[in-house]
Structure 1
Amino acid sequence: MLTLEKVRLGYDRTTVVHDVSIEVPDSGIVAVLGHNGAGKTTLLRGAIGLLRPMAGRVVFDGEDVGRLGPSARVARGLAYVPQGQQAFGDLSTRENLRLVAEQHRAPASRMDEVLDLFPALAELMDRRAGLLSGGQRQQLAIARALLTGPRLLMLDEPTEGIQPNVVQLIERTIVELAAAGLAVLLVEQHVGFALQAASTYAVLTSGRITDRGEGGATSTDTVRTAMRI
């Protein structure tokens, strides 16, 4: 579904990601692990088109999308949930969802499916997004991304700074989406859930892949060593 081929990314003259190659299949979860500052967010920004690669290729469903902007990539089936529970704070939950649904001509059934995944949002439709808790805003951010009808969902630290009961809900939802056939590229620095859920993983250290392999709880010690914990 998505292939990053020896991608080099950075800001101005500073290189942050050095010739990284990652493949995400048509379904399932691929995890990119690493500490803060490892280049994980930069990698996702390059995949969605917020950064143009200094070198290498971004290929989505067989098409080189390196020259396409974020909106064109979203239209092709890529979705990106940035770090930080982002939403339009002055708009209600309903308005946040409707804005995306109308822009992408989402059928009413898709809205129903999203609210089934995050039932708490159905009870908060008239509340301003800026007044939601961090966990509620993260649910809203993921719901907005799903309304675009993606084939691949990229998540940047989706459980960071969120209360434990909501973390469990989000983790369960990610697994359910992948089981239903959605491809997921999951960026995390906490290895436990990511390795349990992912079919494969890659460890990013200072912008370079220092380890990769199959997911599963048995990989935890290997990954922690690669991350130098």
Structure 2
Amino acid sequence: MLEITDVEAGYDRTRVLHGVNISASESGITAVLGHNGAGKTTVLRTAIGLLRPTSGRIRFLGEDITHLAPNARVARGMAYVPQGQQSFEQLSTLENLQVVADQKAAARRRMLVDDALGRFPALEAVLHKKAGLLSGGQRQQLAIARALITEPKLLILDEPTEGIQPSVVAEIERTIVELSRSEGLSVLLAIQHIGFALSEAERYFVLASGQITRTGDGGASAQSDVLEAMAI
């Protein structure tokens, strides 16, 4: 589904990624692991088009999208939830969802909002509360719900459980697994916490200093290799 090949990218004159190769299949979870500063966010921003690679190629569903704008990638079935529980803070929870749904055909808008809320029932209680007043966990659930309304084929998540209370972390993780296993959604997940990633991911890639240092199949048996690669 997604193929990142020999990609180099960075900010201004600072190169962050050095010949990175990452692939995500048409379903299941692909985990990008690494410490802060390893380049995980840069990989995701490059995949969605917020950063242009200085070299290399990105393909999605067989199409070369290396030079496509982010909105064109979203139109092709990619959705990105950045780190930090982003939302329109002055709008209510419901309005945040409706803003995204308004881009869809009128007959589908209500259904898409209802489906997104069904993923995160806790949002029902704060539908008319401004997003800026929600807890971190509620904002993260809202951010993922908004992404799901776009009906993505590939959901890109950057540290979706960082700094969130454990009970909400469990709910977010359960939803990610349900989406990938039951509904065939492909998920590209950048995360530091390897426990959930290795238990649920079909494939993992370890980043260090902008380079892939280890890759393999997920599962508990991979933990020692990943810990070694991350030098924990």
Common fold: TM-score over 0.5: yes
Cα distance between partner residues in 1 of 2:125 and 2:62: 41
The aligned counterpart of 1:185 is 188
* 1:8 maps to amino acid: E
Paired residue for 2:224?
A: 221
Give the match for residue 135 of structure 2.
133
Quick one: distance in 2 between partners of 1:163 and 1:217? 24
The residue type paired with residue 227 of structure 1 is M
Helix, strand or coil for the counterpart of 2:3? strand
Q: For residue 107 of structure 1, give the secondary structure of its aligned residue in structure 2.
A: helix
Q: Distance in 1 between matches of 2:104 and 2:17?
A: 32
- For residue 225 of structure 1, give the secondary structure of its aligned residue in structure 2: helix
Offset, 1:104: 3.6
Q: Does 1:38 find its partner at 2:38? A: yes
For residues 33-69 of structure 1, the C-alpha deviation after alignment (integer angstroms, 9 at most, x for no partner) is: 0000000000000000000010001101011111111
Match of 1:77 in 2: 77
Cα distance between partner residues in 2 of 1:93 and 1:108? 14
**Mapping 1:175-214, distance limit 5 Å:** 175-179=177-181, 180-214=183-217
Deviation at 1:107, TM superposition (A): 3.4
SS at match of 2:126: coil
- Give the partner amino acid of 1:196: S
> How high is the sequence identity, in percent, across the aligned residues?
62
Unpaired runs of at least 5, structure 1? none
**Which string of whole-angstrom CA distances, capped at 9 and with x for unpartnered residues, describes residues 137-161 of structure 1?**
0000000000001000000000000
For the residue of structure 1 that corresponds to 2:231, the secondary structure is coil
Q: How far does residue 16 in structure 1 lie from its aligned partner after superposition?
A: 0.1
1:93 corresponds to which residue? 93
TM-score for both structures, normalised by structure 1: 0.98
1:51 and 2:51 equivalent? Answer: yes
Distance in 2 (alpha carbons) for counterparts of 1:123 and 1:48: 32
Structure 1: 4+ residue segments shifted above 4 A: none
Gaps (5+ residues) in structure 2?
A: none
Cross-structure match for 2:116: 114
Q: Among residues 161, 164, 167, which one is paired with 1:165 in the alignment? A: 167
What is residue 62 of structure 2 aligned with on the other side? Answer: 62
Matched length: 229
What is the CA distance between 1:13 and its match in structure 2? 1.4
Q: Distance in 1 between matches of 2:54 and 2:60?
A: 18
**Secondary structure of the equivalent of 1:43?**
helix
TM-score, normalised to structure 2, is 0.97
**Do the aligned residues in 1 keep the contact of 2:38 with 2:207 (CA within 8 Å)?**
yes
Of residues 127-136 and 98-107 in structure 1, the stretch that sits farther from structure 2 once superposed is 98-107
